[in-house]
């Protein structure tokens, strides 16, 4: 029986791929190109789409800078990474369709946690702009810039709630991140198939217990 739920933010509650990512990636790539990257914007985007299936955006920028840049390109990498991970966040952002209803229902029945990755300032601002800060017992921001994993946050939730791993339901769109981490500790996983391709489900040691494509499917599919 599920007793606690950990929900991802980007492309699970917020359509980050559609609303924020296009400008953030264009700004980052434009700055790289101005500083010696030997690719155009279209080529950068093609490489990003392929690489992001298995690695972080920070690693994408690092690989492209090393493969197609020069000393100047490598020198400004920290600024590029900041451009992407700390973009200007609008004061108001829309939740994905059905997310508000799900949050209202779930927080009345379960211990609800937000587990997101990226820059702490940017992720907390996204949560505030979405109006969801008060929906969660705690917000975990995993520092993906330092290659931290969500697994540690999931383990902390299990320990805080004094529950079995299987009693924690982890919901998110990244197969290589929260799905892999949830399954690695025997938590229950719900793959939210939305946004950019974030990994190959067939490469997981086993499939997530649940697979949905819309918020309206979450509660009936996961028997919540």
Domain enclosing residue 102, as ranges: 4-15+93-221
Using pLDDT thresholds of 50, 70 and 90, give the confidence band for residue 201: confident
Query: How many distinct structural domains can be found in the chain?
Result: 2
Q: Is 90 exceeded by the pLDDT of residue 29?
A: yes
For residues 123 and 77, state if they share a domain: no
Q: Is 90 exceeded by the pLDDT of residue 192?
A: yes
For residues 131 and 117, state if they share a domain: yes
Give the CATH number for residue 104.
3.40.50.1000
For residues 121 and 208, state if they share a domain: yes
Taking Cα atoms as reference points, which of 109, 117, 102 lies closest to residue 173?
Answer: 117
CB atoms within 10 A of CB 83: 20
For residues 77 and 36, state if they share a domain: yes
For residues 133 and 193, state if they share a domain: yes
pLDDT for 172-191, tens place per residue? 999 989 999 999 999 999 99
Q: What is the pLDDT of residue 32?
A: 97
Percent of the chain with pLDDT over 90: 85
Segment 69-93 shows an average pLDDT of 94
Q: What is the pLDDT of residue 176?
A: 87
Using pLDDT thresholds of 50, 70 and 90, give the confidence band for residue 140: very high
Residue 189 sits at the vertex; the CA angle it makes with 121 and 202, to the nearest 5 degrees, is: 105
Angle, helix 77-85 to helix 57-68, in steps of 10 degrees: 150
For residues 70 and 127, state if they share a domain: no
Q: Are 170 and 154 contacting, i.e. CB atoms less than 8 angstroms apart?
A: yes
Q: Is 80 exceeded by the pLDDT of residue 196?
A: no
Show which of 68, 85, 102 is a domain's final residue.
Answer: 85
pLDDT for 96-108, tens place per residue? 999 999 999 999 9
Show which of 42, 64, 85 is a domain's final residue.
Answer: 85
Q: What is the pLDDT of residue 56?
A: 85
Q: Is 80 exceeded by the pLDDT of residue 69?
A: yes
Q: Are strands 168-172 and 210-212 parallel, antiparallel or unpaired?
A: unpaired
């Amino acid at each position: 029986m599920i007793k606690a739920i950990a929900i991802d933010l980007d492309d699970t509650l917020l359509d980050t791929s559609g609303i924020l990512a296009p400008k953030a990636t264009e700004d980052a790539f434009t700055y790289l190109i101005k500083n010696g990257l030997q690719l155009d914007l279209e080529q950068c985007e093609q490489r990003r789409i392929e690489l992001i299936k298995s690695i972080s955006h920070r690693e994408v920028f690092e690989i492209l800078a090393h493969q197609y840049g020069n000393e100047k390109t490598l020198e400004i990498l920290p600024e590029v990474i900041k451009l992407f991970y700390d973009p200007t966040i609008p004061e108001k952002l829309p939740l994905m369709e059905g997310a508000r209803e799900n949050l209202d229902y779930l927080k009345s029945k379960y211990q609800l946690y937000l587990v997101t990755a990226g820059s702490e300032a940017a992720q907390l601002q996204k949560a505030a702009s979405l109006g969801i800060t008060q929906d969660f017992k705690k917000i975990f921001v995993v520092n993906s810039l330092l290659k931290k994993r969500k697994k540690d946050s999931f383990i902390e939730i299990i320990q805080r709630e004094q529950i079995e791993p299987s009693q924690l339901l982890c919901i998110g769109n990244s197969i290589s991140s929260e799905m892999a981490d949830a399954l690695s500790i025997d938590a229950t996983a719900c793959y939210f198939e939305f946004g950019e391709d974030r990994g190959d489900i067939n490469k997981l040691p086993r499939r997530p217990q649940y697979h949905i494509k819309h918020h309206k499917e979450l509660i009936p599919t996961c028997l919540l």
